[in-house]
Structure 1
Amino acid sequence: MRARMGRALAGGLLAVLAVGGAGGWAAADGQQAVTGPPPGSAAWVADTTLGLPLPEPGRAGAAEVAAFFAGLPQAQQRALAVRHPLVVGNLDGVPYALRYFANSLALRGERDRELSVAADATLPERDRAAARAKAERYAALSGRQLLAFDPRGRGQLAEVFGDLADAERTAVIVPGADSDLMTVDRASSPYGTPTGMAKALRAEAGDRLAVVAWTGYTTPVKVGLDAATARLARAGAPRLSRFLDGLVPTTGPVTVLCHSYGTAVCSLAGLGPAQATGLVALGSPGMDVDRAADLRVPVWVVRRNDEDWIDRVPNVSFLGLGHGADPEAPAFGARTVASTGSHGHSGYFAPGTASLANLAAISLGELDRVAYAPVR
């Protein structure tokens, strides 16, 4: 017994060392997860303009929110969005077109606020430079289809590629570490960012598929203790579940594609058939569950390529370290699909790879086109 515990402890420590060595340690104090209702919720709850209580963010479910907005004339819906853009833009259950409108207003308001900070000569130049960078980022996001925009912390957003109402199917991408409002489409990783993944998948699948790049939780920075524990995943999992609750009345159940640390978020979200037709894990360090059957929806896992550093992370879970079973192991019970042609941890969405072709086929429900990988 003591020997087994020793091996588990060693494995847990090795997981942290392997992850840390792959990309450098994150800050010692870790990331503070952004949770709870969106900014401006207090003013929203206090708003009596309509003469009736507004759904309380953080408590009202997506179905309750949807029913409330369905009972309002469009003019009143837009008026609420104008008065409370950050709430309406992030409130699951609000009609998606109204969320686009609200988030466009929220972006403009946050840009103007940051420009004001940047122009304040009494502030240190470091603070003014940071404000200019944020203002430029908000300007760059203008005109994009955002189902969520939260400027708190490192920033979160959910961007839609395609038409949610007209597409036959929808896929939602849940990214891993180092994904936030400032980095979702960095040019240095064209197929490893949420935006790059979404664009590549949509280009492969065509207009029949709408794709949502959901960066709606606080991700680990670099790879260190935050990445080696499920703390941030547990904070983000309910946010993913609520987001899907607000999405599926328009799209129907979606395919959820989870990359790296995002696989832990997906596995802890408690997704069911009403939300997801299936879940696909890519570059997973472990999914914090013992078997695919625990996830209640069909599960696929993309074969790790030989250059993916995540393969060096031991699949253990001990004293809160590690993410447990390898989803690619036969005993886990997921269906393993081919990734021929992919390179590295961020290469599974690269054009021309078997992994991208398989992701498109699964997302479109064309399972007869999926190429499975041999058992190893």
Structure 2
Amino acid sequence: MVAGTAGWASGTAQQALTGPPPGTAAWRAERVPGLDLPDPERATPAQVHRFFAGLTEDRQQELVTRHPLVVGNLDGVPTELRYRANTLALKADHHPRYTHLSEAGQGAEAGDGAGTGDGAGTGTGTSSGAEPRQILAFDPRGRGQVAEVFGDLRTARHVAVVVPGSDIDAGTFDRTDDVYGTPAGMAKALYAETGPGTAVIAWAGYTTPVGLGLDAATGSLAEAGADRLTRFVAGLVADGLPEPTVFCHSYGSVVCGLAASRLAATDLVVLGSPGMRADTAADLHTRARVWAAKDATDWIDNVPNIRVAGIGHGPDPAAPEFGARRIPAHEAHGHTGYFAPGTDSLRAFAAIAEGRAR
């Protein structure tokens, strides 16, 4: 059944990137008199945050400079230090695949004003005079993983996290074609619709499936992604930020479904979902409100909502019997049109992110 549906027999198998941040071996080997560094693999985000909060500014900067890949990717490290660390990591990485991440932020569309907030001096530096990008995570291993912030996390009353689906990595994170199918494009559009009281994080922090092969039909990559998402959000909360609304697109909704019971979120919003590995919203065992959107032209409707011997992701979250709150998506088009400006779905997303939706 799967082999004959939606081309799922094609695609390239991926190995999930798991474990502590790159550079952990050097971090563990560091000997600082009077200072016990937290183990990046074992310390909780709350423990990591307490450790960094207890350091002097000079000592914080020393760790940022000596271990940028650890500090920049370690959940629980204060936001501002992660920005600085990832600035250094990107400057040191000369792989052409990541050059675009060092460029200035440009907004969702030219002239729309959706920049990267008030992070001047904290994000990735540029020579153009435009606003620096606020890179909250940068892991160059494998296909590359990255998270970028739009808005000011430190002053935001509301925070949203966008979790993408298949074919997303550091190279395709903010590609210029099919913009609203990318995490950066979705996050920029949402930030432009909500305004300065909300910060939006585009999170490409897990190994996504490539194409429509077995990886997309099974949950192994989603399970690894769920662990990473849970820890990432815990790091935001440990840093004193509001619990976020989490937007989950396509295969990203499988990640969110598996993370739901552990995820510190006010709302879970799934769009273009193949299923959440749960039979009903209640089976997610989350205190977050669960929302679902699917437009009539989305090809995801051609994917059977089955779950047999590990294949498939279960019932459609947008179906009435699932029990999620339905989001209008009459003006969205296709699988990647939900965040397109002017759509009813984007307006609804903004209302949810700002806590206005009921």
Instruction: State TM-score, norm by structure 1.
Output: 0.85
Select 2:99's aligned residue among 136, 140, 149. Answer: 136
Query: 1:17 is matched by which residue type in structure 2?
Result: G
How many angstroms apart in 2 are the aligned matches of 1:95 and 1:292? 33
CA contact (8 A) 1:26 1:223 kept: yes
How many angstroms apart in 1 are the aligned matches of 2:258 and 2:231? 13
Aligned to 1:354: 344
- Name the SS of the counterpart of 1:218 in structure 2: coil
Aligned to 1:20: 7
- Name the SS of the counterpart of 2:70 in structure 1: helix
- Name the SS of the counterpart of 1:103 in structure 2: helix
Query: How much has 1:149 moved relative to structure 2?
Result: 0.4
Select 2:164's aligned residue among 152, 155, 175. Answer: 175
Residue 41 (structure 1) aligned with residue 31 (structure 2): no
- Name the SS of the counterpart of 1:316 in structure 2: coil
Select 1:69's aligned residue among 45, 52, 55. Answer: 52
Gaps of 5+ in 1: 1-12, 115-132, 369-376
CA contact (8 A) 2:90 2:98 kept: no
Residue 340 (structure 1) aligned with residue 303 (structure 2): no
- Name the SS of the counterpart of 2:340 in structure 1: coil
Residue 102 (structure 1) aligned with residue 65 (structure 2): no
Aligned to 1:7: none
Higher helix share: 1
Select 2:315's aligned residue among 313, 317, 325. Answer: 325
How many angstroms apart in 1 are the aligned matches of 2:332 and 2:231? 32
Query: How much has 1:332 moved relative to structure 2?
Result: 1.2
Query: How much has 1:305 moved relative to structure 2?
Result: 1.6
How many angstroms apart in 2 are the aligned matches of 1:168 and 1:316? 39
How many angstroms apart in 2 are the aligned matches of 1:163 and 1:25? 41
CA contact (8 A) 2:161 2:203 kept: yes
How many angstroms apart in 2 are the aligned matches of 1:314 and 1:135? 36
Aligned to 2:145: 156
Select between 148-157 and 136-145 the one with higher mean Cα deviation.
136-145
CA contact (8 A) 1:317 1:324 kept: yes
Gaps of 5+ in 2: 105-123, 125-131
Residue 300 (structure 1) aligned with residue 291 (structure 2): yes
- Name the SS of the counterpart of 1:310 in structure 2: helix
Q: Percent identity?
A: 56
How many angstroms apart in 1 are the aligned matches of 2:4 and 2:24? 41
Select 1:276's aligned residue among 253, 265, 272. Answer: 265
CA contact (8 A) 2:275 2:315 kept: yes
Aligned to 1:311: 301
Residue pairs, 1:120-269, within 5 angstroms:
133-134=96-97, 136-140=99-103, 142=124, 143-249=132-238, 250-269=240-259
How many angstroms apart in 2 are the aligned matches of 1:360 and 1:18? 34
> After the TM superposition, which segments of 4 or more aligned residues of structure 1 sit over 4 Å from their partners?
none
Query: 2:6 is matched by which residue type in structure 1?
Result: V
Query: 2:10 is matched by which residue type in structure 1?
Result: W
CA contact (8 A) 2:190 2:349 kept: yes
Select between 319-328 and 341-350 the one with higher mean Cα deviation.
319-328
CA contact (8 A) 1:308 1:344 kept: yes
Residue 87 (structure 1) aligned with residue 77 (structure 2): no
How many angstroms apart in 2 are the aligned matches of 1:353 and 1:18? 30
Aligned to 1:372: none
Query: 2:11 is matched by which residue type in structure 1?
Result: A
How many angstroms apart in 2 are the aligned matches of 1:334 and 1:208? 26
Select between 359-368 and 85-94 the one with higher mean Cα deviation.
359-368
Select between 40-49 and 288-297 the one with higher mean Cα deviation.
288-297
Residue pairs, 1:279-290, within 5 angstroms:
279-290=268-279
- Name the SS of the counterpart of 1:18 in structure 2: coil
Q: 1:306 to 1:146 in 2, by over 3 A?
A: same
Aligned to 1:3: none
Query: How much has 1:54 moved relative to structure 2?
Result: 0.6
Alpha-carbon displacement from aligned partner over 1:317-343 (angstroms, at most 9, x marks no partner): 011110011111222111111012110
How many angstroms apart in 1 are the aligned matches of 2:48 and 2:157? 25
Select between 319-328 and 169-178 the one with higher mean Cα deviation.
319-328
How many angstroms apart in 1 are the aligned matches of 2:19 and 2:152? 29
Query: How much has 1:222 moved relative to structure 2?
Result: 1.4
Query: How much has 1:70 moved relative to structure 2?
Result: 1.0
The count of corresponding residues between Structure 1 and Structure 2 is 329
* Aligned-CA RMSD value: 1.5
Instruction: State TM-score, norm by structure 2.
Output: 0.89
Query: How much has 1:33 moved relative to structure 2?
Result: 0.7
